[in-house]
């Protein structure tokens, strides 16, 4: 049998990449926010706007030229009773009650801004409307001429000083979440003194702090490996998030793709049995200390959620849907104006919020929403426990602790928790599917439930049909298909019984298929329709191909292939958000850490000329 050759890197790529990532992250954290680019905004206006800026996208309203024109809704998804909702000013020469400036004066001040002057040169026929927006603040919006008007620019002016506080053009007019309002997503979790230590804790247990025994040339070297690049690639989106938090979408969006492409290739290689490490996983810290730190991190995460987090529209949607179910109302259609597109998820998403809505109630408003906080915390804790149990069953308690710790220390799982979204529910159900991967009907049920949350896991149906070795026999295939279809049918029953199928299709599948945003390169740059369809077609081909290839597969291969499919789906999507990372993170963690052999397995495999056995436990530094 031909000898296997390994390539040893003479440089330290992980150390170089770590330095690059740290430098870029610190540079991004030091960028001035969009408010500073104009002039200093009033504290009240900024705080109020950042609270409501959590809507996925603001709806671009159509204004009419008549005196009865309604206010633009582009500020955010705001309830009708919001005191900061824009109110159209119809008189150009008389100041509104409690205001010093007139609408005509405010328009002249706003039009003097350099960004607005450039916008008006491009659209000389644009029509301006003036609004009061809360106490002492004006909003001036320019709309395109014609029957179907589109908002082109938006300016905030302080009434007391006459100063321009904010200027928005381009996609930042319609997408308030692209403006970089401080704390709009997760609040304090975005602070550097929270984020950077989490990144360090995520990496630290796996770094080679000590030099190994002397090699043939007598020199001691640190054992850098591909795992360190993998972990840095998982942290890489932090750079993109830093630019996103400062409203620099032109950089934040494209910066996501290199890291996701790396992870896609890495997961595909592991899924096909390539790139598996030959040395055991060496932990720099003992498993006991890792477990203690994990418990501390869990407490910190829950405390931060309760003390300093917010509920974005995604978590709000879960509470509204649960309330509709409890009152036996159609699930899709007829949603409140402050979350009109909240019925875009699968019905399972709303079912799981029912007990939280029943226990914690709901005021009928977008308030603190304790039901959404409770749901997010439970999703997070169950995912962590599921990863521990999965690792323990697959390799033993060490791998279980490693997987659970990785979830607790990974910054983006905390970002998702602090935003109180439903994305950890997707991760939870996919972990359940891996736990029952050896049972065809059980993985059929888990796969279908995951698919009816945010629909992307439906692409894993063929992968779960194949399962792990040995290949499923006809009876197992029939059981899987029956369980999968029956689960879909039962989950859709409330929709069918309320004759709600048309609204379901319109507000979920049809809405998601036509969704575009500046948070993907397809929406940011435009003109890439053919390329986007090619990526989407390749993703469909991959999802179908994994039902047949590779011929041999275990849990590591299934996890790697599943993560690759989800990453590919996100690469081709028109809308993307950082909370989507947690969809594939559990599978990435299982594939990366589960692929390491034990010391015994490595020796035996070397003697037999084979790859280290998959079922051996993870080794710990200092352990026998």
pLDDT tens-digit profile of 539-567? 999 999 999 999 999 999 999 999 999 99
Question: What's the pLDDT band for 460 if we cut at 50, 70, 90?
Answer: very high
| Antiparallel, parallel or unpaired: β 127-132 and 137-143 | antiparallel
Cβ count near 347 (within 10 Å):
21
Determine the pLDDT at residue 57.
Answer: 40
Q: What is the pLDDT of residues 263-322, one digit of tens each?
A: 999 999 999 999 999 888 889 999 999 999 999 999 999 999 999 999 999 999 999 999
As a whole number of angstroms, the distance between CA 417 and CA 423 comes to: 9
As a whole number of angstroms, the distance between CA 163 and CA 158 comes to: 5
Determine the pLDDT at residue 559.
Answer: 98
As a whole number of angstroms, the distance between CA 587 and CA 276 comes to: 15
Mean pLDDT of 504-527: 93
pLDDT(611) > 70: no
Rounded to two decimals, what is the model's pTM?
0.86
Which of the 8 DSSP states describes residue 580? G
Determine the pLDDT at residue 41.
Answer: 35
As a whole number of angstroms, the distance between CA 282 and CA 207 comes to: 9
Question: Helix, strand, or coil here: 385?
Answer: helix
As a whole number of angstroms, the distance between CA 408 and CA 404 comes to: 6
Residue 36 tokens read as 């500073």
Question: In degrees rounded to 5, what are phi and psi of residue 28?
Answer: -65, -40
Question: Helix, strand, or coil here: 448?
Answer: helix
* CA neighbor of 128 nearest in space, from 140, 120, 139: 140
As a whole number of angstroms, the distance between CA 249 and CA 524 comes to: 8
Residue 56 tokens read as 């996925």
Determine the pLDDT at residue 487.
Answer: 98
Helices assigned H by DSSP within 345-396: 347-351, 354-360, 370-394
pLDDT(31) > 90: no
Q: With beta carbons less than 8 A apart as the criterion, state whether 447 and 433 touch.
A: yes
Which is more confidently placed, 390 or 223? 390
As a whole number of angstroms, the distance between CA 488 and CA 501 comes to: 13
Segment holding 313, helix H or strand E: helix 313-326
The three-point CA angle 469-434-536 to 5° equals: 90
Q: What is the pLDDT of residues 71-111, one digit of tens each?
A: 333 333 333 456 778 999 999 999 999 999 999 999 999 99
Question: Helix, strand, or coil here: 124?
Answer: coil
The three-point CA angle 400-401-404 to 5° equals: 85
As a whole number of angstroms, the distance between CA 95 and CA 50 comes to: 27
Q: With beta carbons less than 8 A apart as the criterion, state whether 150 and 143 touch.
A: yes
Question: What's the pLDDT band for 209 if we cut at 50, 70, 90?
Answer: confident
Does 244 sit behind a cis peptide bond, omega within 30 degrees of 0 on the bond before it?
A: no
Mean pLDDT of 10-36: 51
Residue 340 tokens read as 């009109």
pLDDT(399) > 80: yes
The dihedral through the CA atoms of 507, 510, 516, 521 has a sign that is: positive
Q: With beta carbons less than 8 A apart as the criterion, state whether 114 and 126 touch.
A: no
Which residues, at least 6 apart from 111, have a Cβ–Cβ distance to it below 8 Å?
A: 117, 120, 128, 140
Determine the pLDDT at residue 437.
Answer: 96
């Amino acid at each position: 049998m031909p000898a296997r050759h390994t390539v040893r890197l003479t440089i330290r790529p992980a150390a170089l990449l770590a330095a690059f990532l740290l430098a870029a992250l610190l540079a991004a954290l030091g960028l001035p926010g969009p408010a500073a680019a104009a002039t200093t905004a009033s504290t009240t206006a900024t705080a109020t706007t950042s609270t409501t800026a959590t809507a996925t996208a603001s709806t671009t309203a159509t204004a009419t030229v008549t005196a009865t024109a309604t206010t633009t809704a582009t500020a955010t998804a705001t309830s009708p009773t919001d005191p900061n909702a824009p109110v159209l000013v119809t008189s150009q020469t008389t100041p509104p009650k409690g205001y010093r400036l007139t609408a005509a004066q405010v328009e002249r001040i706003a039009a003097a801004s350099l960004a607005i002057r450039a916008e008006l040169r491009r659209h000389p026929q644009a029509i301006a409307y003036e609004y009061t927006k809360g106490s002492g603040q004006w909003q001036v919006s320019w709309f395109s001429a014609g029957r179907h008007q589109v908002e082109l620019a938006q300016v905030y002016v302080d009434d007391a000083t006459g100063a321009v506080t904010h200027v928005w053009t381009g996609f930042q007019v319609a997408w308030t979440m692209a403006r970089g309002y401080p704390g709009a997503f997760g609040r304090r979790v975005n602070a550097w003194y929270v984020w950077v230590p989490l990144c360090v804790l995520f990496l630290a247990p796996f770094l080679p702090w000590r030099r190994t025994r002397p090699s043939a040339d007598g020199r001691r070297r640190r054992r850098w490996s591909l795992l360190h690049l993998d972990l840095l690639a998982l942290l890489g989106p932090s750079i993109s998030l830093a630019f996103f938090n400062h409203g620099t979408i032109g950089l934040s969006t494209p910066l996501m793709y290199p890291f996701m492409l790396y992870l896609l290739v890495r997961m595909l290689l592991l899924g096909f049995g390539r790139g598996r490490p030959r040395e055991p996983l060496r932990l720099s810290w003992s498993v006991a200390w890792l477990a203690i730190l994990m418990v501390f991190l869990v407490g910190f995460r829950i405390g931060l959620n309760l003390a300093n987090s917010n509920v974005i529209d995604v978590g709000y949607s879960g509470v509204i849907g649960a309330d509709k179910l409890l009152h036996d109302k159609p699930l899709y259609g007829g949603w409140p104006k402050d979350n009109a597109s909240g019925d875009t998820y699968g019905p399972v998403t709303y079912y799981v919020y029912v007990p939280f809505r029943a226990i914690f109630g709901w005021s009928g408003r977008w308030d603190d929403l304790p039901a959404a906080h409770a749901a997010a915390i439970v999703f997070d804790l169950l995912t962590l426990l599921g990863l521990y149990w999965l690792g323990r069953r697959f390799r033993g308690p060490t791998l279980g602790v490693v997987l659970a710790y990785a979830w607790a220390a990974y910054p983006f799982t905390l970002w998702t928790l602090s935003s109180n979204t439903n994305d950890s529910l997707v991760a939870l159900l996919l972990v359940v599917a891996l736990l029952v991967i050896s049972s065809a009907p059980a993985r059929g049920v888990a796969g279908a439930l995951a698919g009816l949350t945010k629909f992307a896991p439906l692409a894993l149906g063929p992968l779960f049909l194949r399962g792990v070795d040995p290949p499923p026999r006809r009876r197992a295939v029939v059981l899987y298909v029956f369980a999968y279809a029956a689960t879909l049918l039962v989950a859709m029953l409330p929709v069918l019984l309320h004759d709600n199928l048309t609204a379901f299709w319109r507000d979920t599948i049809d809405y998601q298929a036509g969704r575009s945003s500046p948070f993907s390169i397809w929406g940011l740059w435009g003109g890439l329709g053919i390329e986007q369809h090619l990526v989407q077609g390749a993703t469909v081909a991959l999802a179908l191909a994994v039902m047949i290839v590779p011929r041999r597969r275990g849990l590591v291969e299934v996890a790697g292939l599943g993560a690759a499919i989800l990453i590919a789906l996100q690469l081709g999507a028109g809308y993307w958000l950082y909370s989507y990372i947690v969809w594939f993170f559990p599978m990435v963690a299982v594939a990366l850490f589960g692929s390491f052999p034990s010391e015994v397995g490595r020796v035996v495999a070397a003697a037999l000329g084979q790859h280290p056995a998959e079922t051996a436990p993870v080794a710990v530094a200092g352990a026998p």
